[in-house]
Amino acid sequence: MNPGPASTPFPAHRLSVAPMMDWTDRHCRYFHRLLSRHALLYTEMVTTGALVHGDVARHLRFNAEEHPVALQLGGSEPADLAHCAKLGQDWAYDEINLNCGCPSERVQRGAFGACLMAEPQLVADCVKAMVDVVEVPVTVKHRIGIDKGESYAFVRDFVGTVSEAGCSTFIVHARNAWLKGLSPKENREVPPLRYELVHRLKREFPELTLVINGGITTGEQVAAQLEALDGVMVGREAYHNPWWLASWDQAFFGAASSEQTRESVESRMVDYMASQAADHGTPWPTIARHMLGLRHGLPGSRRWRQVWSDHRLKSLHPREVMALAHAAAPVGEGVLAHA
């Protein structure tokens, strides 16, 4: 079901949560939206094959509350990407993003992801095909290089070529992607971060929107990057320590301080779990897994997390599970603190 018109005006990319496979599904994004009203959220990567040959509604359905939300596509055939971008616009996504950064071998076998950086003209053709059929922004997420090449000219020429096709926003993971020899996890940790290359891109292409991604885990780091760039994308820290998102609107978007607490967010997630079970038959553990980091760093968080991840309780109503979680880690132990 189409969740309604896209939000307008389209927000700046000042702060966003990265697309993360198996994590940033629509339930995760609903949870993150409860924490930050203004951060831009991204879907998991959806391949063109899944949309051309699969269940479009299953892959593209989302909650209207998620806006602003961007659809990330994986593919390398301009015609297929154009078709899927149009589907994304029809489903009211606020942005279409092309994945040119994923280094996994499975993605490489599909001839897309980070390996596309070696073919900037093909990426430009893909971007132009999408730009020609949609009115929402088309953006590209990529690395600073592939394998062990450290030439700034490589990423500069990639951005220059693709921007000429109509892309004005580039989200740059400030590490190389090693296409052989490293797992996707190792590709997020082993290649060194080189933020200075992204800063140099911004100086060379001041008219473009440049967003940095990779290794950013604190508000101080976000603020420092925003001194030089247009935006910051946060990945796994946003997932593992989601309460951090609750400070973003005030700290980085100039919004008023939120009065919500972890407990109020948890309660709203319980309501969401109940509605998803009633409307779609979704079992609550499928949703609850995304909020297990909500009490990150607080006393009693481990006991609270153990209750919410106990599949033996799956037959209970989620509000009963919440009561059990609070009994296991009482308010007096700091679990429900606003901090």
In a domain, 34, yes or no: yes
The C-alpha atoms of residue 296 and residue 302 are separated, in whole angstroms, by: 9
pLDDT digits (tens, 9 = 90+) for 166-201: 999 999 999 999 887 778 788 888 889 999 999 999
In a domain, 298, yes or no: yes
Is-catalytic flag, 100? Answer: no
The C-alpha atoms of residue 234 and residue 19 are separated, in whole angstroms, by: 9
Given a contact cutoff of 8 angstroms between Cβ atoms, the answer to whether 299 and 334 are in contact is yes
Residues 267, 243 share a domain:
no
In a domain, 186, yes or no: yes
28, 100, 102, 167: the catalytic one is 102
Given a contact cutoff of 8 angstroms between Cβ atoms, the answer to whether 247 and 219 are in contact is yes
Structure tokens at 1: 């079901």
In a domain, 3, yes or no: no
Q: According to the model, what pLDDT value does residue 134 have?
A: 98
- The domain containing residue 226 runs over which residues? 15-253
Given a contact cutoff of 8 angstroms between Cβ atoms, the answer to whether 116 and 76 are in contact is yes
Q: According to the model, what pLDDT value does residue 207 have?
A: 97
Given a contact cutoff of 8 angstroms between Cβ atoms, the answer to whether 95 and 10 are in contact is yes
Residues 238, 178 share a domain:
yes
Picking from 253, 280, 303, the residue at the C-terminal end of a domain is 253
**Domains contained in the chain, number:** 2
Structure tokens at 153: 């000219």
Q: What is the pTM of this model?
A: 0.92
Picking from 229, 253, 277, the residue at the C-terminal end of a domain is 253
Tell me the C-alpha to C-alpha distance, in Å, between residue 322 and each of 242, 306, 318. 18, 11, 6
Structure tokens at 231: 């935006």
Q: According to the model, what pLDDT value does residue 105 have?
A: 65
In the predicted model, residues of the chain with pLDDT beneath 50 are 1, 5-10, 332-339
Picking from 253, 279, 304, the residue at the C-terminal end of a domain is 253
Q: Enumerate residues 6+ apart whose C-beta is below 8 A from 235.
A: 17, 18, 20, 188, 213, 214
Residues 249, 270 share a domain:
no
- In 3-state terms the chain splits into helix, strand, coil percentages (rounded to 5) of 50, 15, 40
Task: Report the CATH number at residue 317.
Answer: 1.20.120
Residues 269, 201 share a domain:
no
In a domain, 338, yes or no: no
pLDDT digits (tens, 9 = 90+) for 124-166: 999 999 999 999 999 999 999 998 888 999 999 999 999 999 9
Q: According to the model, what pLDDT value does residue 107 have?
A: 59
Residues 312, 188 share a domain:
no
